[in-house]
Amino acid sequence: MTSTPQRLGFIGLGIMGAQMAGHLMAAGHSVFVHTRSKVPEAIASSSATVCASAQAVAEQADIIFLMVPDTPDVQAALFADHGVAAGLTPGKVVVDMSSISPIETKVFAQKINALGCDYLDAPVSGGEVGAKNATLSIMVGGAPEVFERVKPLLALMGKNITLVGGNGDGQTAKVANQIIVALNIEAVAEALLFAAKAGADPARVREALMGGFAASRILEVHGERMVKRTFNPGFRIELHQKDLNLALSSARALGVTLPNTATAQELFNSCAAHGGKGWDHSAMVRALEMMANFDIGQQPA
């Protein structure tokens, strides 16, 4: 438990948000919550106060966390009728932990600042497992003094917590993270598909590679998913598509070419076209398998 219990808000109780809000409650804080969908049973039966709107959350809490899917969702949660902005009073802090547009984040921050409140963008990496185990990596953009005020709360949800720079820079770091993750998934998928088609046991190939320079968390976790065909989502393909859209649109605005990011997005697009937008992003391998007409689990002809 942190030294002083605080009045906190949490908006968005999906796969990750519910876990993250739970850690704040477990530390002894009073947590006011709101979500568009049904409140998870674990939250409904907890000490959380369920509010009818985001405005009501902001009226009750001094620091308000958001964890929703996309840029329009954050905009709605903040500025729609009965949104967070309508419930703010000067001195409060809004912390957006969603993964959204760095450009729009700067606009949102300016609007919140104009109300006499502070704003941090603090997107996360680590997926459902990281949210459950409070081991998320958290990339933060905002003023240093606001970061220091909120950091003890972020530490209840994550381990690697870094102030990257000003507002928007946290989101930029998250986009960069998603580029790296997507390209690593693609590399692992190609390698294991190649090995399986060549007649080697992909599980043993993965085990052998884990001891060398090719070792990575993607090879460890998602390589195992590919071999075992466990594509129930920890992080859905449609969400990674959203993140790569942010990368590619931002790259166009910056005049930067991201050719391999574009390829990874096309592979995700292929999965989605085959009904896989809800698959785990490790299922990118299935797009490569369809092109090869061969699954990793098959025996080569």
**pLDDT for res 215:** 97
Decide: 105 and 129 in contact? Cβ < 8 Å: no
Per-residue pLDDT of the chain (301 residues; tens, 9 = 90+): 445 899 999 999 998 999 999 999 999 999 999 999 899 999 999 999 999 999 999 999 999 999 999 999 999 999 999 999 999 999 999 999 999 999 999 999 999 999 999 999 999 998 888 999 999 999 999 999 999 999 999 999 999 999 999 999 999 999 999 999 999 999 999 999 999 999 999 999 999 999 999 999 999 999 999 999 999 988 899 999 999 999 999 999 999 999 999 999 999 999 999 999 999 999 999 999 999 999 998 888 7
Decide: 134 and 279 in contact? Cβ < 8 Å: no
Length of the chain: 301
Is-above-0.85 flag for pTM? yes
How much is the CA Rg of the chain, to the nearest whole Å? 20
**pLDDT for res 37:** 87
CA–CA separation, 9 and 222 (whole Å): 33
Query: Taking the CB of residue 165, how many other CB atoms lie within 10 A of it?
Result: 15
Q: Is 106 a catalytic residue?
A: no
Decide: 55 and 82 in contact? Cβ < 8 Å: yes
CA–CA separation, 224 and 215 (whole Å): 13
Side chain identity, residue 242: K
Q: Map tokens 């598509």 to a residue.
A: 241
- Give the three-class secondary structure for 297: coil
**pLDDT for res 3:** 57
Q: Map tokens 């090719």 to a residue.
A: 214
Q: Strand pairing partners for 70?
A: none
Q: Map tokens 């003890």 to a residue.
A: 152
**pLDDT for res 77:** 98
**pLDDT for res 298:** 86
101 CB burial (10 A radius; 0-12, 13-18, 19+): buried
Please give the torsion angle defined by the CA atoms of residues 93, 171, 279 and 197, in that order, rounded to the nearest 10 degrees: -150
Of 92, 159, 174, 228, the active-site residue reads 174
How far from chain centre, in Å, is Cα 71? 13
Query: Taking the CB of residue 269, how many other CB atoms lie within 10 A of it?
Result: 15
**pLDDT for res 1:** 42
CA distances from 113 to 15, 66, 119, 144, 171 (A): 30, 16, 7, 15, 18
